[in-house]
Chains A and B, each alone.
Chain A
């Protein structure tokens, strides 16, 4: 099994004609079996990490995919040696588990560019969770030599927050016609952004969104500093605080895109060393998530088993022990429960 991972890795690094085929397959293998990831990462140690992993999020229809498409065009035209990876995450149907993955429809002009690799993912069907799937694809993109990786997600659910932790920077995409400033305040998007992009600047209302956004960010900044020492000012021409960036663009007409790439470039230049350290720290969150998921699973199993003999609930009601004592007993049992088997374990049986 590990042999064929080697073969795939070799086919990718040797730049054979079927390099992309090997990369696509390797990504699937890692999604099917995240336990293979360490073996791949072991082979990657002398390969440079991407300079920038950018998360792109925003409401459906705000133009994230078209924006990604425009950014690819701009980066590739500046420097044709830079390879780019894109992960486009779309929600899975809660009924069927299926998904309609339509993001790359907006990026089809790059379909035959061998230095652009686009992979669509749904939010379901990943052993070990979506972030592990993302890490696997990221590793293959690194093997392909991608210097910039975009990860596109919809909305601000738990999945997006987890992915935001994988990314070095998160860009929030807004566009006119998606509600007033109050929508901005309640969306929750405003808490996770490093860069705010007002897309569709060619349309009516883009200036209003831009103004609302600036005043919101300034309000947040003032609140953070200390409202007592600052005065509210809603002049849209005044710059927002350090570390926050706002750019108005039209992905369709390419207006503002060169400036956006220049901003991203500057931030990357200044931070990419620091990001590499932070990426390792980000994995700690993933380990924590895995532990919690495993303990949740064990908790259900232990409770189901306990039911057959004497339910902890009944023991508490009969005054045999307190809720805390019942919980402590169960935790002791959980520690010794069977660990979750991975597909790899099964294959080795």
Chain B
């Protein structure tokens, strides 16, 4: 075996084991994660694509929500911690070129963001999702509609 062949085998095995170890790769499923003004959360509108996706954003800095994907026994099969700004900050801006802000209005109108998950064999057992507000510790469990790959 040449050096290149050996290298390729090693890299392939490492690559494969990394995929298997993290279970964070697959095709892409994106959801809209919505928080209403009362703080209720939902994960809706799944959109499945054939794009390869390895989830490298499972512990976002300053995360305020934890989303867990659960199987039929409500056992966790996947999780990610995400940040979403739940306030809307409306600002009046000075027409002068001095760069200053004139007024501020902060509202809790609810918020929405896109959250991506890998769609692999393990994830097809998804039946529920749990959302935990990491600040208030409130949790909600709901049924999830997981798209078939």
Q: Do A and B bind each other?
A: no
Interface set of B (CB-CB < 8 Å, partner A): none
Q: Which A residues lie at the B interface, using CB under 8 A?
A: none
